[in-house]
Amino acid sequence: MNSENGGLDEDLVCCKLGDIGVRQNERGQIEKLCNRCGRWVSLGQSKGDTHAFREHYRSKTCDRAAKKKARILDRHMLLSESQITPTPSPHPHVTAPRLPDEESSPTESSSHLRQESSLHPRNQAVDTSADTRLHQFNHTLPLAEGGTAEPASRSPNSKFCCCFQCGKAVAISNMRQHVGGHILRSMWGVREGDLLAEVSSSMPCGLCGRSGCAISLRKTTGLRFKFETNCVFRTKLSLGPASNSTKRAPCTNRPIICCLCVYDCKTKNYPAVWTYNMPAHLADQHKSHTSQDVRLPADFKKSLEISQFELCELRIPDGLLPPASVALLGECAGDLATVVHSEANAAEHSGTKRKRVQSQLARSTKGRN
């Protein structure tokens, strides 16, 4: 207690502006530095110049701060007294420094300095080649048995991931737009230089650009559907806004339900197909619509259309002919009865409506035979 009073008396010797450890703050109040805890304390005006400082000096706050300050000082003293052993250089190619008695020619010393400066991280050139980005990208992607990069399980809080095609960091919410551009350019035969991996040629996923991701539309309430997928880049998707091409979101690649596939009317989960993959799906699963000239519903065909604005925004050159499957799909559209199709609040054909469409397609096929 006596030591504390002694320290307080020493602190109270200098309490005037201009003394060491005394300052004036922005409000015009005079503050004094507490030598015990290291904080600036405002000097009281109503109960005497030193009343507030005395209360602070004897408070628990000052006591705790003083103990913390002492621990920090003790730690610094231990670190300074301990013997620091040199750690090996992370760069094995960096040569050891020369001793003063060793002689070196001017040419040798200048080359040595150039080598050290080039190894400094600040002076290293950034390598943006595909091999370097693939090496950096594969640090987060463990290799599967076949040698292809498989995505690790994404943490729930991650908002950015690297594109499998170009390696750029893209927001998960914008991955469909980004990968949709890669898919569309691949369909139109537009070559992209410096890609890590090409878009899958067999039914690429609209979120990651690779094959094997299952997608479905689950019926919730009324005529509304919820998008579900096992893709590593899964995210929420509103089907209504996704069908409109805008300046900010030009890609309209979205999951829809094929009007020619037959589903159980009691099911609530419908396997879906990405709109960019629908021409390939029709050519593979429904060959009759091309060989027997079965007309597709007008609304269904309209939902698959890719506007010139979308092509321009996704960097498809003007005058480039569409793929054969897309061109053939446009020729097979007819004036069949309008069918409600998958948009934001449209149900896919189930029950009576779907059976009626199937019977109309069957009759049109028999009539042409």
Angle of CA points 157, 158, 159, to nearest 5° = 110
Position 154 confidence tier, pLDDT thresholds 50, 70, 90: low
Measure the CA–CA gap between 352 and 341, rounded to whole angstroms.
15
Residue 53: how many CB atoms within 10 A of its CB? 21
- CB-side exposure of 280: number of CA atoms within 13 Å? 12
253-312 pLDDT tens trace: 999 998 888 877 777 888 899 999 999 998 888 877 654 445 678 888 888 899 999 999
Contact between 297 and 259 (Cβ < 8 Å): yes
Model confidence at 176: pLDDT above 90: yes
pLDDT digits (tens, 9 = 90+) for 129-150: 444 443 333 333 333 333 333 4
pTM: 0.51
Q: What Rg do the C-alpha atoms of the chain give, in angstroms? A: 36
> Which pLDDT score is estimated for 180?
96
Within a 10 A sphere around the Cβ of 204, how many other Cβ atoms?
A: 27
Query: What are the strands, taking DSSP E only, across the chain?
Result: 22-24, 30-33, 40-42, 160-162, 169-171, 215-219, 225-229, 255-256, 269-271, 273-274, 296-297, 333-336
Tokens of 93: 């190619």
For residue 251, pLDDT beyond 90: yes
Mean pLDDT of 148-166: 67
Q: Which pLDDT does position 127 carry in this prediction?
A: 43
Check residue 88 and give its pLDDT: 52
| pLDDT bracket for residue 329 (50, 70, 90) | low
Of the two residues 241 and 351, the one the predictor is more confident about is 241
Better pLDDT: 3 or 209 = 209
Residue 316 has pLDDT above 80, yes or no: yes
Whose CA is closest to 191, among 294, 47, 320, 6?
Answer: 320
User: Tell me, what's the pLDDT at 81?
Assistant: 54
Residue 117: how many other CB atoms lie within 10 Å: 11
pLDDT per position as a tens digit, 77-126: 655 554 444 445 444 444 444 444 444 444 454 455 455 444 444 444 43
